[in-house]
Amino acid sequence: MVMSRVFKRPESVLVVIHTGAGEVLLLRRVRPAGYWQSVTGSLEWHETAPLQAARRELHEETGLDSAGIEAAGIVNRYPILPPWRARYAPDVSDNIEHVFTLRLPQRSAVRLQAGEHDAAIWLPWAAAAERVFSQTNRAAILALVSAP
């Protein structure tokens, strides 16, 4: 029996979680090790809207309630980096990223998803923007969060 490989959908979400005090939640990836990022993940093939994926990823990666999540009105297109290229169909080279924001009244404890992230940290927005690996993550933090 031959099993066909299911490739990832080249469409993702980025959820910037922040407080009214201008602090941003970052998660540290297990693989590749040491990459800091906001909540992010690909849409699953059955999901019909990016908001579905944003809510799912937020819950999976942090355990946080998605009641206040909002679309940021930012959509990015970028080339898929070589370390992740094999996850996608051979003819796919770019990813579409939908940006969301979740503003919390204060820092909140999170429940990390085992195997995906190994640490979480709340940082002032400027420090968070410096720490993230992704340029689109950095741009989203700078566009959506500022000092109180």
Distance CA 137, CA 142 (A): 9
User: Mean pLDDT over all residues of the chain?
Assistant: 95
**Residues sharing a CB contact under 8 Å with residue 112, sequence separation 6 or more, in sequence order:** 27, 61, 62, 118, 119, 120
Cis before 32? omega within 30: yes
Block residue for tokens 């420090």: 127
Domain 11-144: CATH superfamily is Nucleoside Triphosphate Pyrophosphohydrolase (3.90.79.10)
Distance CA 48, CA 65 (A): 20
Q: For the chain, give every domain's residue range.
A: 11-144
Task: Kindly state the average pLDDT of the residues 36-54.
Answer: 98
- What tens digit of pLDDT does each residue of 49-94 get? 999 999 999 999 999 999 999 999 999 999 998 988 999 999 999 9
